Chains A and B, each alone.
Chain A
Amino acid sequence: MTPRHHPSDALLVDYATGVLMSGQRLAVACHLNACPHCARTVSLVEAVGGVLLSDLPLAAMNPDALALALARIERPEPAPAPESGPPSDWIRVPGEVLKALRARGRRSAFGAWVSPVTKGPGGARSYLIGMAPGRGVARHTHSGHELTCVLKGSFIDGGIVYGPGDFTEHDGDMTHAPQATDEDCVCLLATDAPLMPSDWVGRLVFPLLGVS
């Protein structure tokens, strides 16, 4: 099934040009794996990048650069080991996300678990968040930008159901409490500022889950 909720064009452009880093980049990458439409938009921007690259004025390489490169290609470099795939009910995800899944502790609270994926500069973080059927993430607010991609199952937030590959983008000053539907749900969530619980349940639960 193709996702119905997509990143903005502006975000896809930031992804394709390489401006988007770490956690936010991963969240968009997950969506692209599930969404041929957005993947084509990214390919389009990359093709523009290729043309701009072709037209750049040349920067002189060191005189021995080619000789060095020819020497380096003689040395065989093992191809990167293929990563094991995601669980069968997941969308395709980058290896870094699977690593976080494997590293996931057994800690869970009120039917939710959290496993950190990336830690960027400032408060930028990304997490895998799992929710048991019908359970959710405590009501929280964010001061920054929050991107979410559904990797498995579905959740409901503000009356809208988000399924595999669906993407949400929230700006600061928004308070919400996403909740899994009748199946397990796992999401990748990337923020550029820490999540802040906005009620007592969250204040109790977030430290328990290792959200920092």
Chain B
Amino acid sequence: MHAELLLRGHVLGTAPHRTPNGLVRPKRRRPVLRMTVPPEGASSVSLQTEGSDATSPDRLASAIVAIAERQDREAFTLLFNHFAPRVKSYLLRLGAPPEMAEELAQESLLTVWRRAGAYNPEVAAASTWIFTIARNLRIDLARRAARATQLRDPLEELPPEAAPDEALSAMQDEGRIRSAMATLPQDQAKVISLAFFADKPHSEIALDLGLPLGTVKSRLRLAMARLRALLDDRQ
């Protein structure tokens, strides 16, 4: 199971830089060595630097801002090359046929172009924003398949933006999110990753894992409590 491997990858890849409360906080500006677990079947573990290359979280966020400010096509190309293959991968994993995954990946990146002005880099990482766009387009497609309706604004249901005083929270810092995820016990990490990639409500995930629903719910609750404690600076 890929997603699980990826979560384990976070455990491997954590640069141990612990604060007194056990929080792992990689420094933002300094390039951090990150280890990624290769797809199943690949033989080597690759080392990549984060923070120094063209697709660091900061650069990706600035690219969306550049589109909003000056319709920057180079920034769009960067985002497209980085995210379209990942969004397609996400949709394939959720069982979309290849042509549909391709089209939704296209549509997701077009939405990034059209709605770049709605993106706030202080509230969400580029990857978070694009994840929500892809997720909403997929939900919308499923709905339209069920009954013909017009295309909805993929950003419509997003909750209101955080107020400025909450802005510089950990939630737009991919490094901190990775580190927090790496601290989750494996059984909790597994229900979280299944929640994203199994396309099943937690009740069916429980059936698949052969666990009582209460166990899955309590693992989700424990995982969320831990992530909140590590990442929500307002708690």
Contacts and interface: CB of A to CB of B under 8 A. Distances in A.
A61 B199 contact: no
Contacts of B166: 40
A21 B159 contact: no
Interface stretch (A12-20, A100-108, A150-158): A12-20
B84 to A, nearest CB: 5
B18 interface: no
**Majority SS of interface residues in chain A?**
helix
B195 A17 contact: yes
Contacts, number: 195
B24 interface: no
Identify the interface centre among B77, B138, B159: most chain A CB within 10 Å of its CB: B159
Interface in B190-235: 192-193, 195-197, 199-202, 216-217, 220-221, 224, 227-228, 231-232, 234
B2 A57 contact: yes
B232 A40 contact: yes
Given A29-B157, A66-B80, 12 more contacts: A8-B221, A47-B128, A48-B196, A49-B131, A51-B127, A57-B38, A59-B101, A62-B102, A66-B84, A73-B76, A79-B115, A96-B152
Interface of A: 8-10, 12-14, 17-22, 25, 29, 32-33, 36, 39-62, 65-66, 68-70, 72-73, 77, 79-80, 83, 92, 94-96, 119-121
12 contacts: A12-B224, A14-B202, A17-B196, A40-B232, A41-B224, A41-B228, A50-B177, A53-B127, A68-B106, A70-B73, A72-B110, A79-B115
